Structure formats: C-alpha cells, structure tokens
C-alpha cells in the first residue's frame, strides 16, 4: 500500500521545492530605494517611470498603480528578499552594482533595466543554495 493509509492511491513523491522568499512585509518604494542606495532617477529607470512618480509614491506612502511598475517593483522586492537571505544589505548593493560573469559582465541593475530580473533572481537563488554546501 505505500505511505498512504486506507484506500488512497499512492501519490508520487515529489521533491520539496522551496517557495520564493518574501519579506514579512513589502518594502515601501522609499525603503527599497534607500536600502539599495538609489537616486530617484535610478529607481525610476528600474521601474520604468519618472522620478516625479517615485517622489509621489514616497511622500504619500502609496504604491505604483500601473501594471508594469507594480510588476517591476515586485521583482525588485523579490531580488532584495533573496539578496538579504544571502548577503548583508551592503552585500546586496555590491551584488547589484558589480559587473558579473554570470550576467556577461553586466551589473544586476543593468539586467533589471533590460527586463532580465529573473536571471538576477536565479543567480541569487544559486548563491543561496550554495551556502549549504
């Protein structure tokens, strides 16, 4: 009968897949920008918006309403969550500002600007998994 009791059919055992790390609460635009030591202009570039919009979100405590900006902000928050699982805040900033071979000698920020945030997340996950070896 396998590992199940009763009349349940045996279910295939699948490897445990760790869900993506999420901060206990989403960082505000201001908190994220300060943690990453970004200017409003640079944050605007990453979110595909204007520095004026970034300023408005920061002063009102609101979040982007546009789908593109919300998606890009969520990716940036996920990058920071994985980065903090591996590095100190300073280490996250260094990871994102250093040209790396895994990114063909581009920086993490350049990858994000070029819609390659998932590759940055993958690199951080690989670093995270390497911590246990």
Q: What is the pLDDT of residues 29-53, one digit of tens each?
A: 999 999 999 999 999 999 999 999 9
Residues 26 and 77: beta-carbon distance below 8 Å: yes
Q: What is the pLDDT of residues 91-110, one digit of tens each?
A: 999 999 999 999 999 999 99
| Six-digit token string for 38 | 């970004």
**In whole angstroms, what is the distance from residue 10 CA to residue 6 CA?**
10
Residues 32 and 77: beta-carbon distance below 8 Å: yes
pTM: 0.79
pLDDT tier for residue 1 given thresholds of 50, 70 and 90: very low
According to the model, what pLDDT value does residue 130 have? 85
Mean pLDDT of 127-131: 83
| Six-digit token string for 76 | 């940036």
* Region label for 47, one of left (φ > 0), alpha (ψ between -120 and 50) or beta (otherwise): alpha
Domain ranges of the chain: 29-130
């Amino acid at each position: 009968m396998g590992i199940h009791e009763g009349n349940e059919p045996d279910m295939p055992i699948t490897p445990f897949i760790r869900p993506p790390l999420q901060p206990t609460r989403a960082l505000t635009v201001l908190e994220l920008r300060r943690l990453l030591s970004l200017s409003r202009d640079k944050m605007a570039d990453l979110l595909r918006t204007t520095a004026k919009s970034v300023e408005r979100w920061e002063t009102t405590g609101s979040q982007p309403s546009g789908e593109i900006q919300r998606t890009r902000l969520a990716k940036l928050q996920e990058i920071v969550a994985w980065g903090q699982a591996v590095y100190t805040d300073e280490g996250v900033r260094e990871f994102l500002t250093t040209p790396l071979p895994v990114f063909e000698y581009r920086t993490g920020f350049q990858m994000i600007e070029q819609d390659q945030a998932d590759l940055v997340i993958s690199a951080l996950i690989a670093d995270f998994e390497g911590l246990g070896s």
